[in-house]
Amino acid sequence: MDNELNVTYITFGGHVEVNKYGFLYFVIMFTAYILIICSNSTIVCIIVIHKNLHEPMYVFIAALLINSVLYSTAIYPKLLIDFLSEKQIISYSACLFQRFIYYTLAGSEFFLLSVMAYDRYVSICKPLKYPTIMTKNTVKILLILAWIVPACQMSVPIPESASQKLCSFTLKGIICNSTIHKLHCVRSLLLNIYGLIVLVDVVLLPLLFIVFTYVKIFIITYRSSREVRSKAAQTCLPHLLVLISFSCLVTYDVLLARLDANFPKTLQFILSLQMILYHPLFNPIIYGLKMKEIYKHLRGLFCKTV
């Protein structure tokens, strides 16, 4: 028989009274979910429709925004059901599945940001070789790998996690992540070691690669004309802002699970909101406003609508 976990939501003053304010929370979160879906999907549709945006850079942006939609879809439906339910529960198997989706998409995001950094590096530092390096086939392969590789890595620890005996059945938070290890009677050394390996492989190595590529870009652009520096800033700044935002989310997740850190309730609430609200909305806002070509088409779309 599958174990059922009690879900406890945390806010500024402690635990959320879900039953008391359930409908209000439902309306707020449902509105946020629709906003996330619409904002990300709008930019993806713009990239698909307009042929001048059928370039690797914009294709990767579209993939990143699709990732945000999938990421939110892995979180919001369960959240919305909980707000309308008398008891907030989730089966352990469903919790493991949600964690798998959550970390797979998180790994995909780092992979896509790494690919985007490489794309900018080739475009700015090796412009003559760009068409031969970033071909359509190369882009397709990178996109496939962006989702398959993290999924394979995150599926490995599932059997071990599923076999663990539970001594606690209260899940504190809004999503099933690595904190479910705290429910186990005995911490698995194998899971901890594998988790650290994946952390290095999925997070640290991509971060180092991204930092390396942008350092090279900055060195090249510093020695170039003002026009080249301006173009580099327009295309690279949005990627860096998204990277910083997502890195903060991942840092919080790692500290919460690995270091048993007792974060203040206010900080937990803010970072949890970043996880489900800020980041999925941050991507379309940044790319919609900061990418000149996308912004031009967005402005044209809204002017026609109005």
In this structure, the strands spanning 14-15 and 4-8 are unpaired
Q: Which helix (H) or strand (E) holds 14?
A: strand 14-15
Order the strands of the 4-8 sheet from edge to edge. Answer: 89-91, 4-8, 170-172
Mean pLDDT estimate for the chain: 81
> How many residues does the structure list for the chain?
306
Taking only the tens place, the pLDDT of each residue in 203-218 is 888 888 998 998 888 8
CB of 11 within 8 A of CB of 18? no
- CB-side neighbour CA atoms (13 Å) of 94: 15
Q: What is the pLDDT of residues 224-281, one digit of tens each?
A: 777 777 777 777 888 888 888 788 777 777 766 555 556 666 666 666 777 778 888 8
- Residues 297, 46: contact at Cβ < 8 Å? yes
Average pLDDT over residues 72-78: 89
Rounded average pLDDT over 98-122: 91
Highest mean pLDDT among 42-56, 156-170, 176-190, 219-233: 42-56
Residue 38 has pLDDT above 90, yes or no: yes
Greater pLDDT, 224 or 53: 53
Q: Which residues contact 301 (CB under 8 A, 6 or more apart)?
A: 42, 46
The region of weakest confidence among 32-41, 102-111, 258-267 is 258-267
State the CATH number of the domain containing residue 168.
1.20.1070.10
11 pLDDT above the threshold of 70: no
The residue segments making up the domain with residue 262 are 4-305
State the pTM of this model: 0.86
Task: Out of 38-52, 62-76, 100-114, 181-195, pick the least confident.
Answer: 181-195
State residue 61's pLDDT score: 92
- With tokens 């028989």, the residue in question is 1
**Complete DSSP assignment for 225-259:** -HHHHHHHHHHHHHHHHHHHHHHHHHHHHHHHHHS
Distance CA 306, CA 301 (A): 9
pLDDT at 12: 35
pLDDT at 137: 93
Closest C-alpha among 14, 17, 16, 12 to residue 266: 12
pLDDT at residue 3 tops 80: no
What integer is the mean pLDDT of 126-132?
Answer: 89
Q: How confident is the model at residue 14 (pLDDT cuts 50, 70, 90)?
A: very low
Cβ-count burial 168-191 (b if 16+ within 10 Å, e if not):
eeebebbbbbbbbbebeeeebeeb
Q: What is the pLDDT of residue 142?
A: 93
Measured distance CA(128)–CA(299) in Å, rounded: 32
Residue bearing the bigger pLDDT, 299 or 154: 154
* Residue 35 CB partners (closer than 8 Å, separation 6+): 281
Q: How many domains does the chain have?
A: 1
Query: Would you state the pLDDT for residue 268?
Result: 66
pLDDT top residue among 35 and 258: 35
